[in-house]
Amino acid sequence: MAQLQTPKASRNQEMGRLSFMVSSMSTPTGRTSGGYAPRKAVAMSPGGSKAGTFTGVPMISSSAPKRGSAASLTTAAALLLAALLAAAPAHAAPADRSDDKDTAKPPAQMSVVGGKRLGRPGTQVSLKAGAPALPKGLSGRSWLVADAESGDVLAAHNAHWKLPPASTLKMLFADTVLPKLPKDREHKVALSDLEGMGAGSSLVGVKENLTYTVHDLWLGVFLRSGNDAVHVLSAMNGGKAKTVQEMQAHAEQLNALDTHVVTPDGYDEKGQVSSAYDLTLFARSGLQKADFREYCSTATAQFPGEYKKDKKGHKKRESFAIQNTNRLLTGFQVPQYKGIAGVKNGYTTNAGSTFTGVAQRGDRVLLVTVMNPQKQAASEVYKETAKLFDWGFEAADSVEPVGTLVRPGPKGLASGPGVDHAGQKSHKHAQAAVSAGDDGSGGRWTAVGLTGGSLVLLAAVAYAVHRRWPLPELVRRRSRG
């Protein structure tokens, strides 16, 4: 029987109050290399999804058998345990708080990439007459709302504050490495591939001496935030050091100048920082890639397990179901957000909760990033993200942009209001005619939709490319068998 699998609570993933899974009563019996042995869990279905831009996503793979009354009792017990877990902080390694005094408040002066106002501490918004007020009760240390296509920043709060990014840094990892490895390439995992993971790392369940496709591993990265999958892909890319170097170079090429990469997986390390602005740039760049969109919008999938003998003595490889940790996508404990299509969430001891999401309503596509809400309520990062999405869709036509998401390359630094980081005068809006010289993508974007688990070519981009950087049509993926 296929069951959803989740790793033990850790300092490096969406566990405890951020876990969308309900843990079983069993406890792990051992530890894998660099982390805890995965344990089984029961997936909880949301209480009905709302109709919206994208089709609903079942919480369980279609291959999973139906549960009987006994399973219902198990689920009830699991719900009780979930409530207890949600009320308590996640198990975590001791945090390095040596620099808390320096990071408790945003710097008085921050980077002005994308516009002067984005370098100021506090909330930046320019409301026109009749515009809705920003949501009350926002507690994120840093957040940003932007139009994903024009690049207009509708509102921001400490946009360039350098903070620990947690697993949202995996967006940069994917945007850097994903184009280099063919998805059908197979790799037999060596023990050395899994070395160097931080204690308590989030895991999807990769095992040494077993073979996985690149496609399998990316599902493990995006759905389960598996540091084991990240380390194997890094090994396939030439090693951790090479991958970190390439990620740093790519961040700089995207003009994400607040970011300093130390690990490919976002695990807490001294000096590893990013910002709400940079994380939004990573999401925007990644979403131009069909495979990135496929993985980040997948709700559930089957992941290869170990080989076991059947009754006839023949070896057969089993699989287990995994579910995305993005609660706005799956609808666990918070309402499934109308129009959500990814992208990545994270949690570590030092970073707190982090999340970057993309959603579409009508013809408008918004990106929202929230870093480290100070409220301790369960799922707070998702609740604040949903509030900012709602505000952004309502207010988009009744605010003056306070900045812009710059495009890649040296020319991108001349695409924000006022004077940018390099001291150059800039345009009001981000230019959208992205050439191969800017980001290596090969020119204008083609709209690619994701329907019924298949990639379908829909149409050429129909936007005015002189002022917009259009995202392809976003359609949420259903579970993969």
To the query of whether residue 19 is one of the catalytic residues in this protein, the response is no
- Edge-first strand order for the sheet with 22-23 is 5-6, 39-42, 22-23
Angle CA(88)–CA(73)–CA(1) in degrees, nearest 5? 95
Residue 77, H or E segment:
helix 69-87
Active-site residue, from 19, 49, 61, 167 = 167
Q: Name the DSSP class of 345.
A: E
Q: Which of 240, 83, 110, 249 is nearest to 172 (CA)?
A: 249
To the query of whether residue 225 is one of the catalytic residues in this protein, the response is yes
Specify which residues 373 forms β-bridges with. Answer: 140
How many angstroms separate the CA atoms of 168 and 113, rounded?
Answer: 20
Quote the tokens at residue 66: 């139906």
Q: Which of 281, 223, 475, 222 is nearest to 359 (CA)?
A: 475
3-state SS assignment for residue 434? coil
Residue 12: C-alpha distances to residues 93, 266, 386, 467 (Å)? 9, 8, 23, 39
Active-site residue, from 19, 23, 162, 170 = 170
To the query of whether residue 170 is one of the catalytic residues in this protein, the response is yes
Query: How far out from the chain centre does Cα 433 lie?
Result: 26
Q: Which of 467, 438, 274, 476 is nearest to 356 (CA)?
A: 274
Cβ-Cβ contacts under 8 Å for 52 (sequence gap 6 or more): 338, 339, 361
Q: Name the DSSP class of 124.
A: E
Backbone angles phi, psi at 396, to 5 degrees: -55, -35
Number of Cβ within a 10 Å radius of residue 413? 19
Active-site residue, from 33, 202, 225, 285 = 225
Strands 123-127 and 152-157: antiparallel
CA atoms within 13 A on the CB side of 382: 28
Q: Which residues are known to be catalytic?
A: 167, 170, 225
